[in-house]
Homo-oligomer: A and B are copies of this chain.
Amino acid sequence: MPDKRLLLLSNSTNLGEGYLEYPQKTIQQFLGNSVKNVLFIPYAGVGLSYNQYTQKVASSFAQIGYQVRGIHAFPNPVEAVLTADAIVIGGGNTFALLNQLYLNKLINPIRKVVANGIPFLGWSAGSNVASPTIKTTNDMPIVEPPSFEALNLVPFQINPHYTESRLPNHGGESRVDRLNEFIELNPGINVVAIPEGDILKIVDNSVKHIGTGPIKVFRRGQKIIEFDPSDNLDFLMD
Protein backbone atom coordinates (compact mmCIF):
# COMPACT_ATOMS: atom_id res chain seq x y z
CA MET A 1 0.00 0.00 0.00
CA PRO A 2 1.48 3.38 -0.93
CA ASP A 3 1.68 6.10 1.72
CA LYS A 4 -1.18 8.50 2.21
CA ARG A 5 0.10 12.00 1.39
CA LEU A 6 -1.59 15.25 2.39
CA LEU A 7 -0.58 18.90 2.48
CA LEU A 8 -3.06 20.92 4.52
CA LEU A 9 -2.65 24.69 4.44
CA SER A 10 -4.31 27.17 6.76
CA ASN A 11 -4.77 29.72 3.96
CA SER A 12 -3.84 30.40 0.35
CA THR A 13 -2.22 33.75 0.79
CA ASN A 14 -0.68 35.78 3.56
CA LEU A 15 -1.90 39.36 3.80
CA GLY A 16 0.05 41.60 1.43
CA GLU A 17 1.70 38.72 -0.49
CA GLY A 18 1.01 37.29 -3.94
CA TYR A 19 -1.61 34.58 -4.43
CA LEU A 20 -0.37 31.20 -3.12
CA GLU A 21 3.09 32.75 -2.69
CA TYR A 22 4.09 31.56 0.78
CA PRO A 23 3.42 27.84 0.18
CA GLN A 24 4.82 27.68 -3.37
CA LYS A 25 8.11 25.89 -2.60
CA THR A 26 6.43 23.57 -0.14
CA ILE A 27 3.84 22.63 -2.76
CA GLN A 28 6.59 21.89 -5.29
CA GLN A 29 8.46 19.67 -2.85
CA PHE A 30 5.24 17.92 -1.93
CA LEU A 31 4.04 17.19 -5.46
CA GLY A 32 7.53 16.34 -6.76
CA ASN A 33 8.46 15.47 -10.35
CA SER A 34 6.14 12.57 -11.11
CA VAL A 35 2.94 14.62 -10.91
CA LYS A 36 2.03 16.24 -14.19
CA ASN A 37 -1.68 16.91 -14.22
CA VAL A 38 -3.28 18.40 -11.18
CA LEU A 39 -7.04 18.21 -10.70
CA PHE A 40 -8.39 21.37 -9.10
CA ILE A 41 -11.75 21.40 -7.31
CA PRO A 42 -13.07 25.00 -7.25
CA TYR A 43 -16.42 24.25 -5.58
CA ALA A 44 -15.72 26.47 -2.55
CA GLY A 45 -15.62 29.51 -4.82
CA VAL A 46 -18.61 31.82 -4.48
CA GLY A 47 -18.79 35.14 -6.31
CA LEU A 48 -16.28 34.11 -8.95
CA SER A 49 -16.81 31.46 -11.60
CA TYR A 50 -15.21 28.02 -11.44
CA ASN A 51 -13.30 29.00 -14.58
CA GLN A 52 -11.99 32.20 -13.05
CA TYR A 53 -10.98 30.42 -9.88
CA THR A 54 -9.24 27.61 -11.76
CA GLN A 55 -7.32 30.07 -13.94
CA LYS A 56 -6.06 31.91 -10.88
CA VAL A 57 -4.77 28.67 -9.37
CA ALA A 58 -3.41 27.42 -12.70
CA SER A 59 -1.32 30.58 -13.12
CA SER A 60 0.29 30.02 -9.76
CA PHE A 61 0.93 26.29 -10.32
CA ALA A 62 2.34 26.96 -13.81
CA GLN A 63 5.20 28.85 -12.14
CA ILE A 64 6.31 25.61 -10.47
CA GLY A 65 5.74 23.40 -13.49
CA TYR A 66 2.29 21.90 -13.02
CA GLN A 67 -0.68 21.89 -15.36
CA VAL A 68 -3.99 22.45 -13.60
CA ARG A 69 -7.42 21.51 -14.90
CA GLY A 70 -10.69 22.30 -13.13
CA ILE A 71 -12.99 19.40 -12.32
CA HIS A 72 -15.97 21.30 -13.80
CA ALA A 73 -14.32 21.01 -17.25
CA PHE A 74 -14.58 17.20 -17.20
CA PRO A 75 -17.72 15.49 -18.48
CA ASN A 76 -17.45 12.94 -15.65
CA PRO A 77 -16.18 14.38 -12.35
CA VAL A 78 -15.87 10.97 -10.66
CA GLU A 79 -13.63 9.73 -13.46
CA ALA A 80 -11.62 12.95 -13.25
CA VAL A 81 -10.90 12.15 -9.58
CA LEU A 82 -10.10 8.50 -10.25
CA THR A 83 -7.55 9.38 -12.97
CA ALA A 84 -5.90 12.44 -11.38
CA ASP A 85 -2.17 12.66 -10.54
CA ALA A 86 -3.02 14.92 -7.60
CA ILE A 87 -6.14 16.44 -6.03
CA VAL A 88 -6.19 20.11 -5.03
CA ILE A 89 -9.13 21.70 -3.22
CA GLY A 90 -9.17 25.47 -2.85
CA GLY A 91 -10.68 27.69 -0.18
CA GLY A 92 -13.86 29.72 -0.13
CA ASN A 93 -17.08 28.63 1.52
CA THR A 94 -16.86 25.22 3.21
CA PHE A 95 -20.63 24.59 3.05
CA ALA A 96 -20.80 25.31 -0.68
CA LEU A 97 -17.76 23.07 -1.22
CA LEU A 98 -19.07 20.11 0.75
CA ASN A 99 -22.49 20.44 -0.85
CA GLN A 100 -20.97 20.18 -4.34
CA LEU A 101 -18.77 17.25 -3.31
CA TYR A 102 -21.96 15.42 -2.31
CA LEU A 103 -23.96 16.49 -5.38
CA ASN A 104 -21.17 15.22 -7.63
CA LYS A 105 -20.77 12.02 -5.59
CA LEU A 106 -17.08 12.65 -4.97
CA ILE A 107 -16.71 11.81 -1.28
CA ASN A 108 -15.85 8.14 -1.71
CA PRO A 109 -13.80 8.54 -4.91
CA ILE A 110 -11.56 11.14 -3.24
CA ARG A 111 -11.16 8.96 -0.13
CA LYS A 112 -10.22 6.04 -2.37
CA VAL A 113 -7.53 7.77 -4.43
CA VAL A 114 -6.00 9.41 -1.36
CA ALA A 115 -5.82 5.99 0.33
CA ASN A 116 -4.03 4.79 -2.81
CA GLY A 117 -1.30 7.42 -2.48
CA ILE A 118 -2.57 10.20 -4.75
CA PRO A 119 -1.36 13.45 -3.15
CA PHE A 120 -4.06 15.67 -1.66
CA LEU A 121 -3.54 19.40 -1.21
CA GLY A 122 -6.07 21.74 0.37
CA TRP A 123 -6.20 25.21 1.82
CA SER A 124 -8.74 26.83 4.12
CA ALA A 125 -12.12 25.23 3.23
CA GLY A 126 -10.09 22.63 1.29
CA SER A 127 -8.32 21.71 4.54
CA ASN A 128 -11.57 21.76 6.51
CA VAL A 129 -13.12 19.07 4.33
CA ALA A 130 -10.13 16.76 4.93
CA SER A 131 -11.40 16.46 8.53
CA PRO A 132 -14.06 13.99 9.69
CA THR A 133 -16.68 16.78 9.64
CA ILE A 134 -16.93 20.49 8.77
CA LYS A 135 -17.92 21.36 12.34
CA THR A 136 -14.79 23.49 12.88
CA THR A 137 -15.10 25.70 9.81
CA ASN A 138 -15.14 29.47 10.26
CA ASP A 139 -17.54 29.96 7.36
CA MET A 140 -21.14 31.10 7.22
CA PRO A 141 -23.60 28.24 6.48
CA ILE A 142 -24.94 29.88 3.31
CA VAL A 143 -25.90 26.52 1.79
CA GLU A 144 -27.17 23.37 3.52
CA PRO A 145 -25.13 20.31 2.57
CA PRO A 146 -26.74 16.84 2.87
CA SER A 147 -24.49 16.16 5.88
CA PHE A 148 -21.67 17.77 7.92
CA GLU A 149 -19.61 14.58 7.42
CA ALA A 150 -16.65 15.32 5.22
CA LEU A 151 -13.75 13.45 3.59
CA ASN A 152 -12.33 12.09 6.84
CA LEU A 153 -8.79 11.88 5.41
CA VAL A 154 -7.31 12.65 8.83
CA PRO A 155 -8.74 11.69 12.23
CA PHE A 156 -8.68 15.24 13.66
CA GLN A 157 -10.56 18.48 13.04
CA ILE A 158 -8.76 21.39 11.42
CA ASN A 159 -9.47 25.01 12.23
CA PRO A 160 -7.79 27.09 9.52
CA HIS A 161 -7.05 30.85 9.69
CA TYR A 162 -6.59 30.40 13.42
CA THR A 163 -6.24 33.63 15.34
CA GLU A 164 -6.59 34.79 18.89
CA SER A 165 -7.16 38.41 18.04
CA ARG A 166 -10.59 39.86 18.60
CA LEU A 167 -12.62 42.47 16.81
CA PRO A 168 -12.26 45.83 18.57
CA ASN A 169 -15.32 46.95 20.61
CA HIS A 170 -17.27 43.82 19.75
CA GLY A 171 -19.06 41.42 22.05
CA GLY A 172 -19.27 38.36 19.77
CA GLU A 173 -17.43 35.12 20.54
CA SER A 174 -13.68 34.83 19.93
CA ARG A 175 -12.23 31.90 18.01
CA VAL A 176 -11.09 30.36 21.29
CA ASP A 177 -14.67 30.59 22.61
CA ARG A 178 -15.97 28.86 19.49
CA LEU A 179 -13.47 25.99 19.60
CA ASN A 180 -14.12 25.53 23.31
CA GLU A 181 -17.83 25.19 22.47
CA PHE A 182 -16.97 22.60 19.81
CA ILE A 183 -14.97 20.40 22.19
CA GLU A 184 -17.65 20.76 24.86
CA LEU A 185 -20.15 19.03 22.55
CA ASN A 186 -17.66 16.78 20.74
CA PRO A 187 -15.47 14.91 23.23
CA GLY A 188 -12.74 12.53 22.13
CA ILE A 189 -11.45 14.40 19.10
CA ASN A 190 -8.51 16.76 18.63
CA VAL A 191 -8.98 20.15 16.99
CA VAL A 192 -5.80 21.41 15.35
CA ALA A 193 -5.85 25.20 15.09
CA ILE A 194 -3.46 26.36 12.36
CA PRO A 195 -2.50 30.05 12.10
CA GLU A 196 -2.27 31.69 8.69
CA GLY A 197 1.02 30.90 6.96
CA ASP A 198 1.32 27.45 8.53
CA ILE A 199 0.95 24.01 7.00
CA LEU A 200 0.58 20.36 8.04
CA LYS A 201 2.34 17.79 5.87
CA ILE A 202 1.19 14.24 6.39
CA VAL A 203 2.94 11.20 4.97
CA ASP A 204 1.42 7.93 6.09
CA ASN A 205 1.16 8.41 9.87
CA SER A 206 3.77 11.09 10.28
CA VAL A 207 2.70 14.70 10.73
CA LYS A 208 5.11 17.55 10.06
CA HIS A 209 4.37 21.15 10.87
CA ILE A 210 5.80 23.63 8.36
CA GLY A 211 5.79 27.29 9.36
CA THR A 212 6.74 29.56 12.18
CA GLY A 213 3.67 30.04 14.33
CA PRO A 214 2.67 27.65 17.04
CA ILE A 215 -0.28 25.44 16.28
CA LYS A 216 -2.69 24.71 19.11
CA VAL A 217 -4.56 21.54 19.91
CA PHE A 218 -7.95 21.75 21.63
CA ARG A 219 -9.46 18.65 23.19
CA ARG A 220 -12.15 18.23 25.79
CA GLY A 221 -10.84 17.65 29.28
CA GLN A 222 -7.35 18.99 28.66
CA LYS A 223 -5.73 22.40 28.51
CA ILE A 224 -5.08 23.91 25.10
CA ILE A 225 -1.62 22.63 24.09
CA GLU A 226 0.76 24.71 22.00
CA PHE A 227 3.19 23.03 19.57
CA ASP A 228 6.20 24.52 17.82
CA PRO A 229 7.34 23.30 14.40
CA SER A 230 10.02 21.08 15.97
CA ASP A 231 7.52 19.17 18.14
CA ASN A 232 6.36 15.70 17.19
CA LEU A 233 2.72 15.68 16.09
CA ASP A 234 2.41 12.04 15.01
CA PHE A 235 -0.05 11.42 17.88
CA LEU A 236 -2.63 13.32 15.84
CA MET A 237 -2.92 10.34 13.47
CA ASP A 238 -3.68 7.85 16.25
Contacts and interface: CB of A to CB of B under 8 A. Distances in A.
Contact of A140 (B13, B93, B170, B178): B178
Interface string A167-206: 1111111000011111011100000000010000000000
**Chain A binding surface, main DSSP class:** loop
A182 B140 contact: yes
Could you say which interface size class chain A belongs to? 35 or more
Contacts of A139: 173, 178
Contacts of A47: 180-181, 184
Contacts of A138: 140, 172
A148 B140 contact: no
B170 A161 contact: yes
Contact of A142 (B93, B163, B166, B185): B185
Interface in A1-29: 11, 13-15
Given A140-B137, A142-B135, A169 B15 contact: yes
A134 interface: yes
B142 A186 contact: yes
Contacts of A168: 165
Interface of A: 11, 13-15, 46-47, 93, 96, 133-144, 147-148, 161, 163, 165-173, 178-182, 184-186, 196
